[in-house]
Structure 1
Amino acid sequence: MLSASYLILFTYGQLLAQNDTTITNKKINLQEIEVSARRTPVIYSEIGRVVTVISKKEIEALPVQSVDQLLEYVAHVDVRQRGPLGIQADVSARGGSFDQVMILLNGINITDPQTGHLSLNLPVDFSNIERVEILEGPGARIFGSNAFSGAINFITGSANQSNLKANVMAGAHGLYNMGASGNIVNDQLKSFVSVNKSATDGYIHNTDFEVYNLFYQGQLNLEKEKLELQIGYTDKGYGANSFYTAAYPNQYEQTKTTFASLSFSAQSKNPLKSSVYWRRHQDRFELYRNNDDAASWYTTTTTI
């Protein structure tokens, strides 16, 4: 009886296995599947947006001295920096890469088109930033495909009254930061000008830097139209101690960024906004800062 029961169960299991194999070998044609972030499809204007705004009051309350230090306090934003006070820093959001975050200055794209690095080379000093707007998620696509994981917009010159400001900072190892900025406001024209210089001898060998910033922003307000012009220039030269490899600690790098933009907007039943901008980035890297210490095979520098 035991043998007969075993044979019956074994035979039945083999039949089931054959049936399962037969079903598995059949070709099944699946229909098209749409994957959406929401339960029901929505139009673009109704997509949820995650927006973080850092006001001037909040910036002054935080213990920070540079843009990269400020962004470290924002959730979902990752900052990787080399050197002090934002000399070289990269930023990403929501797990994306450096070239998937768009950096804007007063709504104009200032991201480096060649590489995701050096995007925080802003032509304005940290003290001149009035507000920071951080847009995460799919809503950032409003700025284009480069804002894949988010966009960060830095606002300057938003004061509605004429003013003049000057800032001076000094610290150890020959550190100093000095600059001046001012707003000139009348009935139709508003202008903002900023000039800044900072430098240090470095806290260890080959960590010195020297930075120059020059920026102008003008707004012409008509009845229903607004014309805005921006011109900026930044020059950073710094000792890159072991930036890219510890085998050559005496590296040096100098970056220059020139930026200009012109935008026009009109408020009517059909709002219109258009802009054109130009950005030039120069990067000079030296593996050996002093030619006297260079190896015999090192004969030149690389400029991009």
Structure 2
Amino acid sequence: MKTWIVLFSVAAVGSSARAQTTPAVSPVSTTVVVVGSPEPVTIGETNRSATVLNTEKHPLAYQQTEDYLRTDASVFVEQRGAGGSQADISIRGTSFEQTLVLLNGLRINDAETSHNNMDIPVPLAALRSIDVLQGAGSTLYGSDAIGGVVDFVTAKPKHDSLLLRAGGGNYGENEQEAVMAAVGSKWSELLAGERDFSSGFMYDRDYRDEEASSESRYDSRLGESDILVAGDDRAFGANNFYGNYPSYERTKGWFASMQQALGQHTDAAFGYRRHTDEYVLFRNDPAIYENNHIDTSWQAALRRHDAAGRDTRLFYGLEADGDGIHSNNLGVHARNWGAGYLDAEVQAGRASLSAGLRQEIISGGYFITSPMLAAGYFVTQKIKLRGNVGYGFRLPTYLDLYYSDPGTIGNPHLKPESAWNFEGGADWFANARLYVASTVFYSRQHDAIDYTRATASDPYQATNLTGLSFVGWENSAVWQPDDANEMKASWTLLSGAQKALHGLQSEYVFNYPVNNASLEGTHTWAAGYMVHSRIGVTERYEKSPYAVWDLAGARDVGRWRPYVQLTNITNTGYQEVYGVQMPGRAVVAGLEISLTRGARRAEKP
């Protein structure tokens, strides 16, 4: 109980001073959501539970993408390596494999293992936002969208500019970043590169993370062309990551996509991803045990929308996907699938309705239908009620199907897992400065994939389970009392039913947090200096709660922008993945140089 009191008494930053030049924030109801709907809509228009994390606002207050995701209490980050080396994302208690990760709306989930889903090849500095959909999303996005969807959206430059950043801290931390943008009358180019090194806070926990991207846009008579090429290289000590071994792992990948508007109503998109994973059980003696995996995936989509009367819009399209793997442990495998979907959006006065259906045809003889129905109604101009029922499914990864070692055994006979998601909630748009949302949800899974065993001496075996369900209550609020201050709070309460285990030991089912909360505050002075504070409190199933406090200060404007980032100020000892210790108190400080003339507010090029 004391931990929860600390959360609501310490995290806020004082709000007495007022800025004179900081522009007022836009009303929350106009914040654009690009996930969970066939086209961008505002928070006020969507009938789904969704969160928009603006990565262009106060970028020097955050070290990595996982820091943004931790501000959404329905998202639980299970991080092994510091600096973004390896992290899993769970939404509403579902497993990390049941979260779909997108990059500009295209799938980048890893075909080998979902442990690598967060190998985002685009540097954080090149992102515009991270959009989170809570709840099933397979009607629009297909496989893996059981618990939710996370879409990383890249930034579109507004002017010629150059940003350079360098910093360092304890544990041998050093980081560098460069972002260059060029903008013409009909084209733009954004180049970004980032690297983050550390000698590690303990033995065999060093890391080296590098990402680089190039995104080119061009406007023609057809519409906008968008070509993105990005790559990443992550090498890290994996001490205790997968058991009591001084292991080592290195993942590398690249992603290329092209999205083309074909007039005002049609869009075509194609994406290709290649990813490699080298795992060594004993870092100093690779000959004892080593795995090498190469997996590839691709996606092609043709999407169209039309008006069907004054109040109805139709969205429909065709998609084709495929993935494959070449591995010394998992073997050589490949599969393909295709889908068609139809979605109708109806707006009638205060009421709105969304109805969709997707049909998936998967190699191996699987036919999966994913329906969705969502509705909303403005009881008053400020209060909206909404509800949603949707279906999500996931194909097993190749590791689920074919992996084998003394402690873990895959299962080539696994069925795709699926879930029905039900939710009802309310939004209160009090005014332009205050927004509150509350949602109750229930998810029931079928053929859920978990690793189970009868006793501690047995290996874990990949298994399909029945009877697994979760019920929860999520709440969030955004308040800007004045132009100098902003506060955000979120809290999710979760309960799971584990009747599906029938006395077996589980590797993943009991990982979810029964309580997860985040409170953050930002204060900005007239000269552009800001301070950002966040406290997160997590209570895992049958575990003691822990609190982590992060604090950052920076200058958001001008040519010279110093910054300092303090993480885990209270030096809390905690684990987001059982058996993997997280770093203690740490500090990183540095300087960002902006060569953009006339920039008056913090924004990426």
The match for 1:285 is 279
Give the 3-state SS of the residue equivalent to 2:77 in structure 1.
Answer: strand
For structure 2, the residue ranges without an aligned partner over 5 or more in a row are 1-37, 40-44, 294-605
In the TM superposition, residue 57 of structure 1 has moved relative to its aligned partner by 5.2
2:282–2:289 contact (8 Å) kept in structure 1: no
Task: Work out the CA distance in 2 between the residues paired with 1:121 and 1:140.
Answer: 22
In the TM superposition, residue 148 of structure 1 has moved relative to its aligned partner by 2.5
Give the 3-state SS of the residue equivalent to 2:67 in structure 1.
Answer: helix
Q: Does 1:78 align with 2:72?
A: no
The letter for the 1-side match of 2:278 is: R
Task: Work out the CA distance in 2 between the residues paired with 1:141 and 1:98.
Answer: 19
1:157–1:183 contact (8 Å) kept in structure 2: no
In the TM superposition, residue 106 of structure 1 has moved relative to its aligned partner by 2.0
Equivalence map 1:193-232=2 (5 Å)? 193-232=191-230
Task: Work out the CA distance in 2 between the residues paired with 1:179 and 1:57.
Answer: 15
Q: Deviations over 1:147-204 (max 9, x none)?
A: 2222111122322212111111200122111020111111111111111222111111
Give the 3-state SS of the residue equivalent to 1:65 in structure 2.
Answer: coil
1:227–1:262 contact (8 Å) kept in structure 2: yes
Provide TM-score, normalisation by structure 1: 0.76
2:56–2:129 contact (8 Å) kept in structure 1: no
1:264 to 253, 260, 263: 260
Which shifted more, 181-190 or 219-228?
Answer: 219-228
Task: Work out the CA distance in 2 between the residues paired with 1:57 and 1:221.
Answer: 24
2:215–2:228 contact (8 Å) kept in structure 1: yes
Cα distance change, pair 140–160 in 1 and its aligned pair in 2 (3 A): farther
Equivalence map 1:122-201=2 (5 Å)? 122-138=120-136, 141-201=139-199
2:282–2:288 contact (8 Å) kept in structure 1: no
The letter for the 1-side match of 2:96 is: F
Q: Deviations over 1:9-33 (max 9, x none)?
A: xxxxxxxxxxxxxxxxxxxxxxxxx
Cα distance change, pair 88–121 in 1 and its aligned pair in 2 (3 A): same
The match for 1:251 is 247
The match for 1:273 is 267
In the TM superposition, residue 59 of structure 1 has moved relative to its aligned partner by 5.2
Greater relative contact order (Cα 8 A, min sep 6): structure 1 or 2?
2
Task: Work out the CA distance in 1 between the residues paired with 2:136 and 2:289.
Answer: 45
Q: Does 1:303 align with 2:292?
A: yes
Q: Deviations over 1:76-99 (max 9, x none)?
A: 111100021221000021222222
Task: Work out the CA distance in 1 between the residues paired with 2:127 and 2:170.
Answer: 25
Provide the aligned C-alpha RMSD in A: 2.2
The letter for the 1-side match of 2:177 is: G
Q: Deviations over 1:16-75 (max 9, x none)?
A: xxxxxxxxxxxxxxxxxxxxxxxxxxxx999822221112355538x5311112211113
Higher strand residue share? 2
In the TM superposition, residue 225 of structure 1 has moved relative to its aligned partner by 1.3
Equivalenced residues, count? 251
Task: Work out the CA distance in 2 between the residues paired with 1:138 and 1:302.
Answer: 33
In the TM superposition, residue 257 of structure 1 has moved relative to its aligned partner by 1.1
Give the 3-state SS of the residue equivalent to 2:82 in structure 1.
Answer: coil
Cα distance change, pair 168–144 in 1 and its aligned pair in 2 (3 A): same
The letter for the 1-side match of 2:203 is: H
Task: Work out the CA distance in 2 between the residues paired with 1:230 and 1:57.
Answer: 19
Q: Deviations over 1:264-295 (max 9, x none)?
A: 12343xx111211111111101111112xx7x
Give the 3-state SS of the residue equivalent to 1:130 in structure 2.
Answer: strand
In the TM superposition, residue 119 of structure 1 has moved relative to its aligned partner by 0.9
Higher helix residue share? 1
Give the 3-state SS of the residue equivalent to 2:114 in structure 1.
Answer: coil
Equivalence map 1:38-53=2 (5 Å)? 48-53=47-52
Equivalence map 1:19-30=2 (5 Å)? none
Task: Work out the CA distance in 2 between the residues paired with 1:149 and 1:90.
Answer: 13
Task: Work out the CA distance in 2 between the residues paired with 1:139 and 1:110.
Answer: 15
In the TM superposition, residue 254 of structure 1 has moved relative to its aligned partner by 0.4
1:66 to 64, 67, 79: 64
For structure 1, the residue ranges without an aligned partner over 5 or more in a row are 1-43
Task: Work out the CA distance in 1 between the residues paired with 2:130 and 2:49.
Answer: 14
Which shifted more, 181-190 or 129-138?
Answer: 129-138
Q: Deviations over 1:129-155 (max 9, x none)?
A: 221111223456312233222211112
Task: Work out the CA distance in 1 between the residues paired with 2:219 and 2:115.
Answer: 35
Which shifted more, 216-225 or 163-172?
Answer: 216-225
1:47–1:138 contact (8 Å) kept in structure 2: no
The match for 1:8 is none
Task: Work out the CA distance in 2 between the residues paired with 1:277 and 1:80.
Answer: 27
Q: In percent, how many aligned pairs have the same letter? A: 27
Task: Work out the CA distance in 1 between the residues paired with 2:106 and 2:247.
Answer: 33
In the TM superposition, residue 126 of structure 1 has moved relative to its aligned partner by 2.5
Give the 3-state SS of the residue equivalent to 2:115 in structure 1.
Answer: coil
